[in-house]
Amino acid sequence: MSKQTLERILQSQGFGTRKWCSQIIADGEVGINGEIVTDSRLILETSGLEFSVYGEPWQYREHVYIALNKPADYECSRKPSHHPGVLSLLPEQFSLRDVQPVGRLDHDTTGLLLMSDDGAFIHAQSSPKRHIPKVYVATTHDAVTPQLVAQLLKGVKLHDEPAPLAAVVCNRLDEHQLEIVLEQGKYHQVKRMLAAAGNHCTALRRTEIGGLKLAALNLAEGEWRYLDEAQRALLTAP
């Protein structure tokens, strides 16, 4: 249980500096239980707190855990250089409270992307020591052959990697598409593995992290949702 002043609550949720939050409260832009509140020093219990800012409902969250169905041509960076950043798909408040992508997908890679402002969660999900499986569907330039699948399962040597990298699981889906499961999370790993195996990746989509399936989240491209505790628990389950 935690109690904070209303201005600090708004600041923690990404609505701006304390001075700015105090001002919008004084301006009558914040409501609780349908009533306008103008006292920025009002002390409130944060657990389960619901409020509105500019008429939009919000719920207090100490941290946010988000799943995004990432479209193509968005960069997983807080400072994008050539394409819009994925944070532009989220409410502005998330950027102000330092929400960031958990790992990265290339700008042309689509699918399941986690985002959070919880440093411990980000570290745990990003750590290669956790061996969290990630499932990708890759579209290939050349046909997917049994030899290609076998080679990816056996392991291919990549430049700057001391040992061959192998898929945990690899299945042919159709003539030009395969499903591949990886645990390492190396830079451009799927694309580089396919290239090392003599093929070329023309499209890539991440469909699952741990036991959390993008299909179960029912998100169109560009849509996002909060993850509840049960969904976050799936992230470590194979």
The catalytic residue positions are 106
3-class state of residue 153 by DSSP: helix
Question: Position of tokens 């700008």?
Answer: 107
What is the Cα 94 distance to its own chain's centre? 12
- The rounded Cα 150 to chain-centroid distance in angstroms is 31
DSSP assignment of 69-87 equals: EEPSS-BSSSS-SSS-BGG
Which of 89, 55, 50 has the alpha carbon at shortest distance from 71? 89
Closest CA to 118 of 232, 1, 220, 18: 232
**Half-sphere exposure (Cβ direction) of 153: Cα atoms closer than 13 Å:** 12
Compute the C-alpha angle 47/48/50, nearest 5°: 120
